[in-house]
Structure 1
């Protein structure tokens, strides 16, 4: 129910309230993230991250190998940090785990593109600078890659009909199959090609009961969001939801089109790797932005017809 509930909320929210909410949350998340980097011990003792995940998510305390009281991926194996020379760990801020903070940075980028014309110059600068700070805080390699792609593609997508976004997911699936056939995907290695290979294998390994969402025992697909979603909801609902989200019309407004293309491309790029983007922590606001831009486009069309 998360997706329709927050889309409906977005259709009713006023633009000023949406901007105020996003800017306030962005500031709070950035400040807490900077506190975490400056005082990881104080942050850990305040939120007791290990205790939270052990008691509520079934994690094993021994899995938190990085040390301290932070999330288990607060360090990367072998020191593979983007800014390893700074001696920082991977921050998580209010999300308590770094991947969700990276997803939030992507959602913030989509919001900034969608609302660019209605943001003041100060708000635009704040969103750009704070998003960069969040990327450094979480050491988000995938988030950085997606945002850099958005910087190149979203200005172009403002001139592309938003319903063309329906092609993103099937084209990505075809690209992964082709990449595997050409030996481009590194089989089950701890890097982006390896994670994509895991996601493709997970989808291919599903039996009929899993595809229909009726299997009694669920398999853990932590690194394959689309397989996890399909076994929870069924392939019928997964395909139907993708079509419903992608085929809705947002009109010709550049901001609305960038929001639609950004959200659908974000889903397509991240679902083979993780289901974390569907968490309410980050997805709620993304669907609010979706609903807001859909309603804004519909209102513009109604006004045009009335004129």
Structure 2
């Protein structure tokens, strides 16, 4: 009788979230983008932060996202439960308390499903464009008013406080910037801009360059987007200010994947990262070089050496020792989720049906982005850039096909 008098009582429990879905998605995406910069500001202002503070902020963002990402459909819940259970098993086998691998599983699932529940692609357009504008404005502030910027954002002190850097890594060349914030050799993109590599809200330039490639991929994908030209401009400015050579190369590869590469069979996309990993392993075992330089050839050599340095326990994700593998995403992925977890996770990504061909085109572009970036960095696992990547993929898969 009560249900008959109250029509809302007959609606699914998840329906109450629908009016807030777009605003919450926008808020968590911006939060994931800027929370590190906000914590850096607080730390510089005298409110000390720690690694636990950063972890707590990430947990809060992921928890809020989870509350609005999953609905009554059992599929996402089963996938999430399976991946988290596998991650906990690895933690137990390692005999450690490091749950970073579980976080690496959570981010793709929750933000992808948040994108799937996005009201429409125009809502996603606004979130992506707003993210790009924030990054550019902060980047121009850092570059144009650097002395003022340093008074409010001491990046080195922040990374030391959170435990990501040791005081011994501080040097006079970079000052308050991250280690890679100054290009020691000649700048590649527009040399007249000087050696300063702008980090914007990411606090380090590698993620800034990667984010520029992400913005470029959405602008290329969304042919009918309002403000598309502005998004292309945001992508270009971000990559140029960060002097992101790799980000520029990845944009070319993304364009190829989105224009023609999406026609390739899914099995080839599934095999791509494992083929690259095998090539790195062969290169690492066969190469007689042990020193490397900070250029593309040198970074490939160093990535290969890191991959081949892993013991069998590292390949299966049960190595108890914590290694520094930030310069090789493939080595990092193996130690965090193991080869079995990598096979399952990548299989879900490449073999899961797409609702429309346009969504598959973007997925191929992001597959290229991830596979190439994992060669030289573990940044695809960082929530700073990964949140928007997986949201975009979910929004594209959940949208109706454009005319």
Q: Same fold (TM over 0.5)?
A: yes
Question: Partners in 2 of 1:51 and 1:178 — Cα distance?
Answer: 39
Give the aligned partner of residue 116 of structure 2. Answer: 11
Question: Partners in 2 of 1:87 and 1:226 — Cα distance?
Answer: 32
Give the aligned partner of residue 303 of structure 1. Answer: none
- Structure 2 residue corresponding to 1:150, chosen from 244, 247, 254: 254
Give the aligned partner of residue 133 of structure 1. Answer: 237
After superposition, the C-alpha distances for 1:170-206 in whole angstroms (9 at most, x for unaligned) are: 3323554676799799963321122112222222222
Please say if residues 44 and 68 of structure 1, whose CA atoms lie closer than 8 Å, have aligned partners that are also in contact: no
Give the aligned partner of residue 63 of structure 1. Answer: 169
Q: Aligned pair in 2 of structure 1 residues 129, 224: CA closer, same or farther (>3 Å)?
A: same
Please say if residues 179 and 185 of structure 1, whose CA atoms lie closer than 8 Å, have aligned partners that are also in contact: no
Please say if residues 166 and 246 of structure 1, whose CA atoms lie closer than 8 Å, have aligned partners that are also in contact: yes
Give the aligned partner of residue 102 of structure 1. Answer: 209
Please say if residues 92 and 138 of structure 1, whose CA atoms lie closer than 8 Å, have aligned partners that are also in contact: yes
Question: Partners in 2 of 1:244 and 1:10 — Cα distance?
Answer: 16
Q: Aligned pair in 2 of structure 1 residues 87, 202: CA closer, same or farther (>3 Å)?
A: closer
Question: Partners in 2 of 1:264 and 1:211 — Cα distance?
Answer: 22
Give the aligned partner of residue 380 of structure 2. Answer: 277
Q: CA deviation at 1:55?
A: 0.5
- Structure 2 residue corresponding to 1:42, chosen from 145, 148, 152: 148
Stretch of structure 1 that moved more, 185-194 or 218-227: 185-194
Question: Partners in 1 of 2:371 and 2:165 — Cα distance?
Answer: 28
- Structure 2 residue corresponding to 1:235, chosen from 317, 339, 349: 339
Please say if residues 157 and 257 of structure 1, whose CA atoms lie closer than 8 Å, have aligned partners that are also in contact: no
Q: For 1:152-191, what aligned pairs fall within 5 Å after superposition?
A: 152-160=256-264, 164-176=268-280, 188-191=292-295
Give the aligned partner of residue 21 of structure 1. Answer: 127
Give the aligned partner of residue 359 of structure 2. Answer: 256
* 2:398 is the alignment partner of 1:292: no
Bigger relative CO (Cα 8 Å, ≥ 6 apart): 1
CA RMSD of aligned residues (A): 2.4
Question: Partners in 1 of 2:289 and 2:297 — Cα distance?
Answer: 5
Stretch of structure 1 that moved more, 138-147 or 205-214: 205-214
Structure 2: stretches of 5+ with no match in the other structure: 1-105
After superposition, the C-alpha distances for 1:114-147 in whole angstroms (9 at most, x for unaligned) are: 3223x02xx1110111211111110001001111
Give the aligned partner of residue 86 of structure 1. Answer: 193
Structure whose alpha-carbon radius of gyration is higher: 2
Aligned residues: 294
Q: For 2:346, what is the secondary structure of its paired residue?
A: helix
Question: Partners in 1 of 2:139 and 2:200 — Cα distance?
Answer: 4
Q: For 1:144, what is the secondary structure of its paired residue?
A: helix
Question: Partners in 1 of 2:260 and 2:325 — Cα distance?
Answer: 34
Please say if residues 110 and 258 of structure 1, whose CA atoms lie closer than 8 Å, have aligned partners that are also in contact: no
Give the aligned partner of residue 222 of structure 1. Answer: 326
Stretch of structure 1 that moved more, 163-172 or 222-231: 163-172
Q: Aligned pair in 2 of structure 1 residues 59, 268: CA closer, same or farther (>3 Å)?
A: same
Q: CA deviation at 1:34?
A: 0.8
Q: Could you state the TM-score of these two structures normalised by the residue count of structure 2?
A: 0.67
Please say if residues 7 and 291 of structure 1, whose CA atoms lie closer than 8 Å, have aligned partners that are also in contact: yes
Q: CA deviation at 1:233?
A: 1.6
Please say if residues 284 and 304 of structure 2, whose CA atoms lie closer than 8 Å, have aligned partners that are also in contact: no
Q: CA deviation at 1:166?
A: 1.4
Q: CA deviation at 1:85?
A: 2.5
After superposition, the C-alpha distances for 1:49-94 in whole angstroms (9 at most, x for unaligned) are: 1111010034123423323322121112233443322325100111
Structure 1 residue ranges, 4+ long, deviating more than 6 angstroms after superposition: 178-186
